[in-house]
Amino acid sequence: MASEGAFQPGDWRADIYAALKRQRITQMAYVPDAGHASLIQAMHADPAIKVTVLTTEEEGVALLAGADLGGDRGVLLMQSSGVGNCVNMFSLLKSCGFPFVTMVTMRGEWAEFNPWQIHMGQATPDVFTRAGFLVYRVDHPADVGAVTEAAVRIAYDSNQAVAVLLSQRMIGAKVF
Amino acid sequence: MLDRRQAVATLLRERPEHLLVVPGLGSSTYDVAAAGDDPRNFYLWGAMGGALSIGLGLALAQPAKRVLVVTGDGEMLMGMGSLATVGAKRQQNLAVAVIDNEAYGETGGQASHTRLGVDLAAVALACGFKQAHTARTLAELQPLRDVLLHASGPVLAVIKTAAGEMPRVLPERDGHLIRARFRAAVVCGQS
């Protein structure tokens, strides 16, 4: 695969990348995030994926709706703090039945150093649920590929909005 | 000052086959519908601030087609970050027409930032758009139609229009139907 050199041995983000490729994802949008860093790098290096860096996460919700209107499959990479930035734009997905997948690195739930991350991190699963999403959570690296693949399939085969929450314990809490 | 209906009709007359239109919520959606309903219009009734980002995702997915976002000054101001995203992306098949009446027409005509000095064409140029122009008369608008439909993008036109209510022309509101109709016209048969 074109970009597998971006990953260190044992990096579970390689499993996300492989699952997204198998499921024919061709657009990716993101706000820079340390937890997704190697995945972002791999997707930038892949000429088959159209990557867009955003100023705020809600742009990515709208952008992937546009991608679907043009026949592309996409994924939005963000951190839990970005979920709150998207709330009204999520109504676009549900009002029109857009398929949508986001991979969310969690903050504020496991050995969090920054108290300002706790509130949005703790609210994230409820915000997604109230916005009409299917919410999957991954705590173990062995599950990440299968969950990613199932998320993309149910999103695009059954027109669902899906959030995959990547637990902070699995990512490794940021150390200052 | 231009009449907004006439301005949008001028942009969309003899509409090319390859032109896809994303109108922002409110008056822009009514203006585009008034110019002639078309399955290649993705009418918005919400998602304020998202019209240009929708246009970018669509333009990336359909590089052989032209994407025109037609939106109001208030909607564009709410999504001003997307001007930076589009400028950075240098998306060649993407154009924006801002129908700028310097007011929030849906909510009682309150002044927007553009009446208070904010220049969206200057913002677009600073964000890396290849061209950005302002039209105040029909004579100034005519050549901008060609820029919006054919010039290498991203390009933006601010079209200064008179404030005030127009007769509403309400297109389909069911988002599922608007999406399915658009995809049937644009995507089906391509892949």
A75: which chain B residues are within 8 Å (Cβ-Cβ)? none
CA distance A46 to A44: 6
3-class DSSP assignment, residue A15:
helix
B71: which chain A residues are within 8 Å (Cβ-Cβ)? none
- C-alpha distances (whole Å) from B177 to each of A149, A156, B83, B144 are 28, 17, 29, 32
Task: Evaluate if residue A174 carries a pLDDT over 90.
Answer: no
Cβ of residue A87 closer than 8 Å to a chain B Cβ: no
Model pLDDT for residues B52-105, shown as the tens digit of each residue? 999 999 999 999 999 999 999 999 999 999 999 999 999 999 999 999 999 998
A68 Cβ contact list (under 8 Å, min separation 6): A74, A98, A99, A100, B57, B61, B179, B183
Are residues B10 and A59 in contact, defined by beta-carbon separation less than 8 angstroms? Answer: no
Mean pLDDT of B42-61: 98
Select from B60, B176, B178 the Cβ nearest to the Cβ of A67.
B60
Phi, psi of B101 (to 5 degrees): -100, 5
CB-based contact A53 B88, cutoff 8 Å: yes
Are residues A96 and B176 in contact, defined by beta-carbon separation less than 8 angstroms? Answer: yes
Token output for B16: 């090319």
Confidence band, pLDDT 50/70/90 cuts, at residue A73: very high
B58: which chain A residues are within 8 Å (Cβ-Cβ)? 66-67, 69-70
pTM above 0.95, yes or no: yes
Task: Evaluate if residue B183 carries a pLDDT over 80.
Answer: yes
Select from A53, A62, A71 the Cβ nearest to the Cβ of B50.
A62
Model pLDDT for residues A80-133, shown as the tens digit of each residue? 999 999 999 999 999 999 999 999 999 999 999 999 999 999 999 999 999 999
Residues in B whose CB is inside 8 Å of some CB of A read 22, 42, 45-51, 53-62, 65, 79, 81-82, 84-85, 88-89, 175-176, 178-179, 182-183, 186-187, 190-191
CA distance B116 to B52: 23
DSSP state of B46: S
Smallest CA–CA separation between B20 and chain A, in Å? 10
CB-based contact A92 B22, cutoff 8 Å: no
Confidence band, pLDDT 50/70/90 cuts, at residue A137: very high
Are residues A51 and A14 in contact, defined by beta-carbon separation less than 8 angstroms? Answer: no
B190: which chain A residues are within 8 Å (Cβ-Cβ)? 71
Cβ of residue A53 closer than 8 Å to a chain B Cβ: yes
Token output for B2: 């231009």
Model pLDDT for residues B11-40, shown as the tens digit of each residue? 999 999 999 999 999 999 999 999 999 999
Compare all CA atoms of chain A with the CA of B40 and give the residue at the minimum distance: A69
CB-based contact A27 B48, cutoff 8 Å: no
pLDDT at B46: 97
- In the sheet that holds A161-166, the strands lie side by side as A50-53, A27-30, A74-79, A100-105, A161-166, A134-138
CA distance B124 to B85: 11
Q: Which amino acid is it at B107? A: T
Select from A69, A89, A97 the Cβ nearest to the Cβ of B182.
A69
| CATH of B4-185 given 3.40.50.720, 3.40.190.10, 3.40.50.970, 3.30.1490.20 | 3.40.50.970
Domains annotated for chain A, with CATH where assigned, are 4-137+144-171 (3.40.50.970)
User: What ipTM score was computed for the predicted complex, to two decimals?
Assistant: 0.96
B85: which chain A residues are within 8 Å (Cβ-Cβ)? 52-55, 59
Interface test with A, best of B53, B67, B76, B94 (most A CBs within 10 A): B53
Cβ of residue A153 closer than 8 Å to a chain B Cβ: no
B23: which chain A residues are within 8 Å (Cβ-Cβ)? none
CA distance A6 to B144: 45
Smallest CA–CA separation between B44 and chain A, in Å? 9
In chain B, count H helices and then E strands: 8, 7
Cβ of residue A162 closer than 8 Å to a chain B Cβ: no
Select from B81, B82, B179 the Cβ nearest to the Cβ of A98.
B179
